[in-house]
Structure 1
Amino acid sequence: MKKNISREEAKKSLVYDPYFEKGHYGSKIFQTIIAFLGWCGVISPFLWIIFPFVFPNRANHNHIVVYLEEKTTLHFLFIFLSLSFVFLVILYTILTLWNNYRFKHFLQKEKQYDAERVKVRRKLINQAYNERFGSKDFRHNVCFYSVKEEQNLETDFVKILYQKGENDD
């Protein structure tokens, strides 16, 4: 049986972030500024290196010197990231097509089993449980139940039960 829990109980068990709720404007502004400064810290070194190439006259005026190693490094970085991007696009395209193929041909079949056989087996196992442990209502509603030694199931109980049931039909 599925247990219904309140919103407060769900907040305790799940990740809770007030940033996405109504209100909390001070927290939202502070966190947004920190995120913006963080991204500026990530992007600024790239801008610092690219600036002399994009604005060479301004770089000379500000005494920013472009070294040959910087050009070589940027050229290598551009080639490496371009090849990585192409490789990842090809890889993810192949994986997506493969996943769609598997979903269409293997996972989305109507029946993966014999429904009539499952129905017969379910009936057999329910009858066996009723004989050994009592009715379904009793089993589901009792608070404490002690299984007697002779009621224990053998290791191959279900296998033998299914074989007998199929032979009887």
Structure 2
Amino acid sequence: MAKQTKQNPSDRQKDVDDRQQLYTDKYFESGHWLLKIWQTIIAILGWLAVILPITITVTSFWASFNPKIPHIWSYSEGIAEIKFIGILLIFSAIMASIFSVTMTLIQNRKRDRLVEQWPTFNPINQRKRKDTIDNFIDNRFGSQEFRENVKTYTVQPEQNLDTHQIQDLYAQHDLDDIG
């Protein structure tokens, strides 16, 4: 037998609060100074490992066009590679833009032709379906007021729903939009 209980609103809020606290991080807790110092140093070194090579490469490339910029390195092969990678990146950006715009146009056209033109359900029968299911549930499990205000409700085995009972109910009342 399945039992249904109505939760108190404060219990539901407690459940939500418990679910929101999924992890902890000692870095943001009070104390743990050695951990904070160590992780901050690692983070700074990581950012330097990203920013420093980019700065050196951009400065060296810029120095090949402007003699006032200090030359960190000036290998002609490196400059040619940077130009080649720049051309590849520009080509990739153009191709990605063309693909994105094309797919957007195709999807908008498909949506206009199919989805917005034909509803996926019969809006006229929607209210009739709601009334039918409400009456069915009221007959089987009691009135809505009773169901919402009862503390404990035991579902009898004969009250369990069959696999396609709701679909059969709609078919009996000629409210089945699928067929």
State the TM-score, normalized to the length of structure 1.
0.63
1:103 to partner: Cα distance: 4.4
Asked if residue 156 in structure 1 is aligned to residue 167 in structure 2, the reply is: no
Q: Equivalent residue for 1:140? A: 148
What residue identity is the alignment partner of 1:158?
A: I
Q: Equivalent residue for 1:82? A: 90
Query: Please, which of 53, 56, 59 is the counterpart of residue 48 of structure 1?
Result: 59
* Structure 2: 5+ residue stretches without partners: 1-8, 10-15, 22-43
Query: Please, which of 155, 168, 174 is the counterpart of residue 166 of structure 1?
Result: 174
What residue identity is the alignment partner of 1:119?
A: R
1:110 to partner: Cα distance: 8.1
1:106 to partner: Cα distance: 4.2
What residue identity is the alignment partner of 1:45?
A: I
What is the alpha-carbon distance in structure 2 between the residues aligned to residue 63 and residue 148 of structure 1?
85
Quick one: structure 1 residues 112 and 65, their matched pair in 2 at CA, closer, same or farther if it must change by over 3 Å?
A: closer
Asked if residue 66 in structure 1 is aligned to residue 74 in structure 2, the reply is: yes
CA RMSD of aligned residues (A): 3.4
Quick one: structure 1 residues 63 and 137, their matched pair in 2 at CA, closer, same or farther if it must change by over 3 Å?
A: closer
Identity of aligned residues (%): 25
What residue identity is the alignment partner of 1:150?
A: E
Quick one: structure 1 residues 63 and 101, their matched pair in 2 at CA, closer, same or farther if it must change by over 3 Å?
A: closer
1:116 to partner: Cα distance: 2.3
Structure 1 window deviating more from structure 2 (86-95 vs 47-56): it is 47-56
1:96 to partner: Cα distance: 2.6
Structure 2 SS opposite 1:146: strand
1:130 to partner: Cα distance: 0.8
What is the alpha-carbon distance in structure 1 between the residues aligned to residue 53 and residue 135 of structure 2?
67
2:140–2:159 Cα contact (<8 Å) kept: yes
Higher RCO, Cα 8 Å, sep 6+? 2
2:141–2:147 Cα contact (<8 Å) kept: yes
Larger helix fraction of residues = 1
What is the alpha-carbon distance in structure 1 between the residues aligned to residue 126 and residue 53 of structure 2?
59
Aligned residues: 136
What residue identity is the alignment partner of 2:63?
A: P
Deviations 1:74-125 (A, max 9, x none): 2211221121111121122123323433444444458432122222222221
* Structure 1: 5+ residue stretches without partners: 4-8, 15-33
State the TM-score, normalized to the length of structure 2.
0.60
Structure 1 window deviating more from structure 2 (149-158 vs 96-105): it is 96-105
What is the alpha-carbon distance in structure 2 between the residues aligned to residue 150 and residue 79 of structure 1?
72
